Structure 1
Amino acid sequence: MRTIKLSNGKSVEVECLSCAITSGLIEPDGGVVYETEHFHAHQDVAYPIKGLIILASKRHIKSFDELTEAEQLDYIQVLTKIRRAQRQTLGIEYVYYFYNEDTTHHFHTWMVPRYEWMYDFGRSVESVRPVLLHARRERNGEEDIQEVMKALDALEIALNT
Protein backbone atom coordinates (compact mmCIF):
# COMPACT_ATOMS: atom_id res chain seq x y z
CA MET A 1 0.00 0.00 0.00
CA ARG A 2 1.06 3.56 -0.73
CA THR A 3 -0.11 6.81 0.78
CA ILE A 4 -1.10 9.38 -1.85
CA LYS A 5 -1.79 13.02 -1.03
CA LEU A 6 -4.74 14.39 -3.02
CA SER A 7 -5.15 17.99 -4.16
CA ASN A 8 -7.83 18.54 -1.51
CA GLY A 9 -5.23 17.79 1.20
CA LYS A 10 -6.61 14.36 2.07
CA SER A 11 -4.44 11.26 1.91
CA VAL A 12 -5.50 7.82 0.73
CA GLU A 13 -3.84 4.44 1.00
CA VAL A 14 -4.02 2.35 -2.15
CA GLU A 15 -1.99 -0.24 -4.01
CA CYS A 16 -2.61 1.43 -7.37
CA LEU A 17 -4.18 4.88 -7.53
CA SER A 18 -5.24 4.47 -11.15
CA CYS A 19 -7.03 1.19 -10.39
CA ALA A 20 -8.75 2.80 -7.41
CA ILE A 21 -9.95 5.72 -9.54
CA THR A 22 -10.99 3.82 -12.69
CA SER A 23 -12.87 1.24 -10.61
CA GLY A 24 -14.73 3.94 -8.67
CA LEU A 25 -13.14 3.14 -5.29
CA ILE A 26 -11.82 6.72 -5.18
CA GLU A 27 -13.85 9.51 -6.74
CA PRO A 28 -11.53 12.20 -8.11
CA ASP A 29 -12.48 15.81 -7.45
CA GLY A 30 -14.92 16.67 -10.19
CA GLY A 31 -15.66 13.03 -10.94
CA VAL A 32 -15.28 11.36 -14.29
CA VAL A 33 -14.83 13.86 -17.12
CA TYR A 34 -15.07 11.30 -19.90
CA GLU A 35 -15.14 7.53 -20.09
CA THR A 36 -15.01 4.84 -22.75
CA GLU A 37 -14.86 1.07 -22.64
CA HIS A 38 -11.07 1.21 -22.27
CA PHE A 39 -10.22 4.60 -20.74
CA HIS A 40 -11.18 6.91 -17.91
CA ALA A 41 -10.46 10.67 -17.95
CA HIS A 42 -10.42 12.76 -14.78
CA GLN A 43 -8.82 15.80 -13.19
CA ASP A 44 -5.44 14.97 -11.72
CA VAL A 45 -6.14 14.29 -8.04
CA ALA A 46 -2.83 15.69 -6.79
CA TYR A 47 -2.55 19.05 -8.59
CA PRO A 48 -5.32 21.68 -8.80
CA ILE A 49 -4.71 23.06 -12.29
CA LYS A 50 -7.77 23.66 -14.44
CA GLY A 51 -7.86 21.33 -17.41
CA LEU A 52 -5.08 19.04 -16.15
CA ILE A 53 -6.50 15.72 -17.25
CA ILE A 54 -5.32 12.19 -16.59
CA LEU A 55 -6.27 9.66 -19.23
CA ALA A 56 -5.92 6.23 -17.61
CA SER A 57 -6.47 2.78 -19.02
CA LYS A 58 -9.08 0.77 -17.19
CA ARG A 59 -6.95 -2.32 -17.56
CA HIS A 60 -3.92 -2.57 -15.27
CA ILE A 61 -0.99 -2.47 -17.67
CA LYS A 62 2.31 -0.61 -17.45
CA SER A 63 3.39 0.23 -20.98
CA PHE A 64 2.15 1.52 -24.29
CA ASP A 65 3.04 -1.65 -26.16
CA GLU A 66 0.69 -3.66 -23.94
CA LEU A 67 -2.37 -1.89 -25.36
CA THR A 68 -4.58 -4.04 -27.53
CA GLU A 69 -5.39 -2.76 -31.00
CA ALA A 70 -8.83 -1.67 -29.81
CA GLU A 71 -7.25 0.18 -26.86
CA GLN A 72 -4.73 1.87 -29.17
CA LEU A 73 -7.47 3.23 -31.39
CA ASP A 74 -9.58 4.30 -28.43
CA TYR A 75 -6.58 5.97 -26.78
CA ILE A 76 -5.72 8.24 -29.71
CA GLN A 77 -9.37 9.09 -30.34
CA VAL A 78 -10.01 9.98 -26.68
CA LEU A 79 -6.74 11.91 -26.35
CA THR A 80 -7.64 13.93 -29.46
CA LYS A 81 -11.19 14.56 -28.27
CA ILE A 82 -10.00 15.81 -24.87
CA ARG A 83 -7.34 18.03 -26.44
CA ARG A 84 -9.90 19.56 -28.79
CA ALA A 85 -12.22 20.25 -25.85
CA GLN A 86 -9.36 21.80 -23.84
CA ARG A 87 -8.66 24.20 -26.71
CA GLN A 88 -12.25 25.01 -27.70
CA THR A 89 -13.84 25.06 -24.24
CA LEU A 90 -11.06 26.34 -21.97
CA GLY A 91 -8.90 28.20 -24.49
CA ILE A 92 -5.83 26.11 -23.63
CA GLU A 93 -3.29 26.82 -26.33
CA TYR A 94 -0.47 24.48 -25.25
CA VAL A 95 -0.36 21.14 -23.45
CA TYR A 96 2.52 18.98 -22.24
CA TYR A 97 1.85 15.25 -22.46
CA PHE A 98 3.57 12.84 -20.08
CA TYR A 99 3.54 9.11 -19.95
CA ASN A 100 6.08 7.00 -18.11
CA GLU A 101 6.46 3.29 -17.57
CA ASP A 102 8.29 3.29 -14.25
CA THR A 103 5.32 4.60 -12.33
CA THR A 104 3.72 2.86 -9.39
CA HIS A 105 0.34 3.42 -11.05
CA HIS A 106 -0.71 1.82 -14.27
CA PHE A 107 -0.81 3.18 -17.82
CA HIS A 108 -1.93 6.78 -17.91
CA THR A 109 -1.12 10.00 -19.73
CA TRP A 110 -0.95 13.41 -18.11
CA MET A 111 -2.30 16.27 -20.19
CA VAL A 112 -0.77 19.32 -18.49
CA PRO A 113 -2.00 22.68 -19.82
CA ARG A 114 0.36 25.62 -19.96
CA TYR A 115 -0.95 28.91 -18.58
CA GLU A 116 0.79 32.27 -18.59
CA TRP A 117 1.59 32.12 -14.84
CA MET A 118 3.56 28.91 -15.42
CA TYR A 119 6.21 30.64 -17.54
CA ASP A 120 7.64 32.16 -14.36
CA PHE A 121 9.05 28.64 -13.82
CA GLY A 122 10.51 28.38 -17.34
CA ARG A 123 9.39 27.16 -20.73
CA SER A 124 10.86 23.66 -20.85
CA VAL A 125 9.75 20.28 -19.67
CA GLU A 126 11.96 20.83 -16.61
CA SER A 127 9.59 23.58 -15.47
CA VAL A 128 6.62 21.23 -15.12
CA ARG A 129 7.52 19.67 -11.74
CA PRO A 130 8.00 23.07 -10.04
CA VAL A 131 4.71 24.24 -11.61
CA LEU A 132 2.85 21.22 -10.24
CA LEU A 133 4.29 21.65 -6.76
CA HIS A 134 3.52 25.37 -6.79
CA ALA A 135 -0.09 24.62 -7.78
CA ARG A 136 -0.43 22.11 -4.95
CA ARG A 137 0.99 24.51 -2.34
CA GLU A 138 -0.07 27.96 -3.56
CA ARG A 139 -3.06 27.58 -5.89
CA ASN A 140 -5.18 25.36 -3.69
CA GLY A 141 -7.53 27.90 -2.15
CA GLU A 142 -11.30 27.77 -2.37
CA GLU A 143 -11.39 30.16 -5.34
CA ASP A 144 -8.74 28.10 -7.18
CA ILE A 145 -10.66 24.86 -6.59
CA GLN A 146 -13.90 26.46 -7.78
CA GLU A 147 -12.12 27.52 -10.98
CA VAL A 148 -10.86 23.94 -11.51
CA MET A 149 -14.36 22.52 -10.90
CA LYS A 150 -15.95 25.02 -13.27
CA ALA A 151 -13.45 24.03 -15.97
CA LEU A 152 -14.17 20.34 -15.33
CA ASP A 153 -17.91 20.91 -15.70
CA ALA A 154 -17.31 22.72 -19.01
CA LEU A 155 -15.03 19.93 -20.27
CA GLU A 156 -17.49 17.24 -19.23
CA ILE A 157 -20.31 18.95 -21.12
CA ALA A 158 -18.13 19.43 -24.22
CA LEU A 159 -16.91 15.83 -24.16
CA ASN A 160 -20.26 14.19 -23.56
CA THR A 161 -22.45 16.05 -26.05
Structure 2
Amino acid sequence: MRKIVLSNGKTVEVECLSCALTSGELEPDGGVLAETPFFHAHQDAAYPIEGLVILASKRHIKSFDELTEEERMDYISLLSSIRSAQRRALGIEYVYYFYNEDTTHHFHTWMVPRYEWMNDFGRSVESLRPVLLHARNHLNNEENNKKVIAALTALRQELSPSMEEEKR
Protein backbone atom coordinates (compact mmCIF):
# COMPACT_ATOMS: atom_id res chain seq x y z
CA MET A 1 0.00 0.00 0.00
CA ARG A 2 1.11 3.53 -0.81
CA LYS A 3 0.14 6.72 0.96
CA ILE A 4 -0.85 9.45 -1.50
CA VAL A 5 -1.74 13.04 -0.62
CA LEU A 6 -4.54 14.33 -2.85
CA SER A 7 -5.01 17.97 -3.88
CA ASN A 8 -7.82 18.30 -1.34
CA GLY A 9 -5.31 17.48 1.42
CA LYS A 10 -6.70 14.03 2.13
CA THR A 11 -4.26 11.15 2.42
CA VAL A 12 -5.32 7.80 0.97
CA GLU A 13 -3.69 4.40 1.13
CA VAL A 14 -4.03 2.41 -2.08
CA GLU A 15 -2.07 -0.14 -4.07
CA CYS A 16 -2.67 1.82 -7.29
CA LEU A 17 -4.34 5.24 -7.42
CA SER A 18 -5.61 4.71 -10.97
CA CYS A 19 -7.17 1.35 -10.07
CA ALA A 20 -8.84 2.91 -7.02
CA LEU A 21 -10.27 5.74 -9.14
CA THR A 22 -11.36 3.72 -12.17
CA SER A 23 -13.01 1.02 -10.03
CA GLY A 24 -14.98 3.54 -7.97
CA GLU A 25 -13.18 2.61 -4.73
CA LEU A 26 -12.03 6.23 -4.53
CA GLU A 27 -14.22 9.10 -5.79
CA PRO A 28 -12.28 11.91 -7.48
CA ASP A 29 -13.11 15.47 -6.43
CA GLY A 30 -15.94 16.61 -8.63
CA GLY A 31 -16.79 13.06 -9.66
CA VAL A 32 -16.19 11.24 -12.92
CA LEU A 33 -15.84 13.41 -16.03
CA ALA A 34 -16.50 10.64 -18.54
CA GLU A 35 -16.41 6.88 -18.63
CA THR A 36 -16.44 4.21 -21.31
CA PRO A 37 -16.10 0.45 -21.00
CA PHE A 38 -12.31 0.86 -21.24
CA PHE A 39 -11.46 4.31 -19.87
CA HIS A 40 -12.18 6.67 -17.00
CA ALA A 41 -11.63 10.44 -17.16
CA HIS A 42 -11.42 12.65 -14.09
CA GLN A 43 -9.86 15.80 -12.70
CA ASP A 44 -6.30 15.14 -11.60
CA ALA A 45 -6.33 14.14 -7.93
CA ALA A 46 -3.04 15.85 -7.05
CA TYR A 47 -2.93 19.11 -9.02
CA PRO A 48 -5.80 21.63 -8.81
CA ILE A 49 -5.67 23.16 -12.29
CA GLU A 50 -8.89 23.97 -14.12
CA GLY A 51 -9.47 21.53 -16.96
CA LEU A 52 -6.52 19.23 -16.15
CA VAL A 53 -7.87 15.82 -17.06
CA ILE A 54 -6.50 12.35 -16.45
CA LEU A 55 -7.62 9.72 -18.93
CA ALA A 56 -6.90 6.32 -17.35
CA SER A 57 -7.37 2.82 -18.68
CA LYS A 58 -9.57 0.61 -16.57
CA ARG A 59 -7.25 -2.30 -17.19
CA HIS A 60 -4.06 -2.28 -15.16
CA ILE A 61 -1.45 -1.99 -17.90
CA LYS A 62 1.65 0.18 -18.16
CA SER A 63 2.09 0.97 -21.84
CA PHE A 64 0.20 2.26 -24.85
CA ASP A 65 1.22 -0.79 -26.88
CA GLU A 66 -0.60 -3.06 -24.43
CA LEU A 67 -3.98 -1.63 -25.47
CA THR A 68 -6.15 -3.80 -27.66
CA GLU A 69 -7.32 -2.40 -30.98
CA GLU A 70 -10.76 -1.75 -29.50
CA GLU A 71 -9.20 0.06 -26.52
CA ARG A 72 -7.01 2.19 -28.82
CA MET A 73 -10.04 3.31 -30.82
CA ASP A 74 -11.95 4.10 -27.62
CA TYR A 75 -8.93 5.98 -26.23
CA ILE A 76 -8.52 8.19 -29.30
CA SER A 77 -12.24 8.88 -29.50
CA LEU A 78 -12.53 9.86 -25.82
CA LEU A 79 -9.27 11.84 -25.86
CA SER A 80 -10.53 13.82 -28.87
CA SER A 81 -13.95 14.42 -27.29
CA ILE A 82 -12.40 15.70 -24.09
CA ARG A 83 -10.03 17.98 -26.00
CA SER A 84 -12.92 19.45 -27.99
CA ALA A 85 -14.85 20.00 -24.75
CA GLN A 86 -11.83 21.76 -23.20
CA ARG A 87 -11.74 24.14 -26.15
CA ARG A 88 -15.50 24.77 -26.32
CA ALA A 89 -16.42 24.87 -22.64
CA LEU A 90 -13.27 26.41 -21.14
CA GLY A 91 -11.65 28.22 -24.05
CA ILE A 92 -8.43 26.23 -23.59
CA GLU A 93 -6.26 26.95 -26.59
CA TYR A 94 -3.26 24.70 -25.85
CA VAL A 95 -2.84 21.40 -24.03
CA TYR A 96 0.21 19.34 -23.14
CA TYR A 97 -0.41 15.59 -23.38
CA PHE A 98 1.88 13.11 -21.72
CA TYR A 99 2.10 9.72 -20.18
CA ASN A 100 5.03 7.83 -18.78
CA GLU A 101 5.62 4.13 -18.58
CA ASP A 102 7.73 4.18 -15.42
CA THR A 103 4.88 5.36 -13.26
CA THR A 104 3.70 3.69 -10.08
CA HIS A 105 0.16 3.90 -11.43
CA HIS A 106 -1.11 2.27 -14.54
CA PHE A 107 -1.61 3.66 -18.07
CA HIS A 108 -3.02 7.15 -17.98
CA THR A 109 -2.63 10.28 -20.07
CA TRP A 110 -2.36 13.73 -18.59
CA MET A 111 -4.14 16.51 -20.48
CA VAL A 112 -2.61 19.66 -19.00
CA PRO A 113 -4.11 22.95 -20.23
CA ARG A 114 -1.80 25.86 -20.87
CA TYR A 115 -2.88 29.10 -19.13
CA GLU A 116 -1.35 32.57 -19.27
CA TRP A 117 -0.20 32.40 -15.61
CA MET A 118 1.99 29.42 -16.52
CA ASN A 119 4.24 31.61 -18.70
CA ASP A 120 6.05 32.66 -15.51
CA PHE A 121 7.48 29.12 -15.47
CA GLY A 122 8.53 29.03 -19.14
CA ARG A 123 6.88 27.88 -22.35
CA SER A 124 8.25 24.39 -22.90
CA VAL A 125 7.49 20.96 -21.60
CA GLU A 126 10.21 21.62 -19.00
CA SER A 127 7.89 24.15 -17.38
CA LEU A 128 5.28 21.51 -16.52
CA ARG A 129 6.85 20.20 -13.32
CA PRO A 130 7.21 23.68 -11.78
CA VAL A 131 3.65 24.53 -12.91
CA LEU A 132 2.25 21.38 -11.30
CA LEU A 133 4.15 21.97 -8.07
CA HIS A 134 3.00 25.58 -7.99
CA ALA A 135 -0.60 24.42 -8.37
CA ARG A 136 -0.24 21.84 -5.61
CA ASN A 137 1.50 24.23 -3.22
CA HIS A 138 -0.21 27.55 -3.97
CA LEU A 139 -3.57 26.91 -5.68
CA ASN A 140 -4.81 24.34 -3.22
CA ASN A 141 -7.39 26.55 -1.58
CA GLU A 142 -11.15 26.72 -1.37
CA GLU A 143 -11.53 29.50 -3.95
CA ASN A 144 -9.43 27.75 -6.59
CA ASN A 145 -10.94 24.34 -5.87
CA LYS A 146 -14.38 25.81 -6.59
CA LYS A 147 -13.05 26.98 -9.98
CA VAL A 148 -11.63 23.53 -10.67
CA ILE A 149 -14.96 21.85 -9.86
CA ALA A 150 -16.86 24.44 -11.94
CA ALA A 151 -14.53 23.72 -14.88
CA LEU A 152 -15.09 19.99 -14.45
CA THR A 153 -18.85 20.55 -14.39
CA ALA A 154 -18.64 22.65 -17.59
CA LEU A 155 -16.58 19.92 -19.29
CA ARG A 156 -19.03 17.24 -18.20
CA GLN A 157 -21.98 19.23 -19.57
CA GLU A 158 -20.14 19.79 -22.85
CA LEU A 159 -19.31 16.09 -23.11
CA SER A 160 -22.76 14.80 -22.16
CA PRO A 161 -24.33 14.88 -25.65
CA SER A 162 -21.36 13.14 -27.29
CA MET A 163 -21.14 10.51 -24.52
CA GLU A 164 -24.85 9.75 -24.85
CA GLU A 165 -24.46 9.45 -28.60
CA GLU A 166 -21.57 6.96 -28.23
CA LYS A 167 -23.64 4.75 -25.92
CA ARG A 168 -26.21 4.23 -28.70
Q: Give TM-score scaled by structure 2 length.
A: 0.95
Q: Which amino acid aligns with 1:154?
A: A
Please give the alpha-carbon distance, in whole angstroms, between the structure 2 residues aligned to 1:160 and 1:61.
27
| Aligned position for 1:47 | 47
Please give the alpha-carbon distance, in whole angstroms, between the structure 1 residues aligned to 2:159 and 2:34.
6
| Aligned position for 1:93 | 93
Q: Which amino acid aligns with 1:56?
A: A
RMSD: 0.5
Seq. identity, % = 75
| Aligned position for 2:124 | 124
| Aligned position for 1:142 | 142
| Aligned position for 1:82 | 82
Any unmatched runs of 5+ in structure 2?
A: 162-168
**Is 1:29 matched up with 2:41?**
no
Please give the alpha-carbon distance, in whole angstroms, between the structure 1 residues aligned to 2:142 and 2:2.
27
Q: Which amino acid aligns with 1:25?
A: E
Q: Which runs of 4+ in 1 moved over 6 A?
A: none
CA offset at residue 140 of structure 1? 1.3
CA offset at residue 160 of structure 1? 1.2
SS at match of 1:160: helix
SS at match of 2:79: helix
| Aligned position for 2:20 | 20
SS at match of 1:101: coil
SS at match of 2:21: helix
Q: Give TM-score scaled by structure 1 length.
A: 0.99
Any unmatched runs of 5+ in structure 1?
A: none
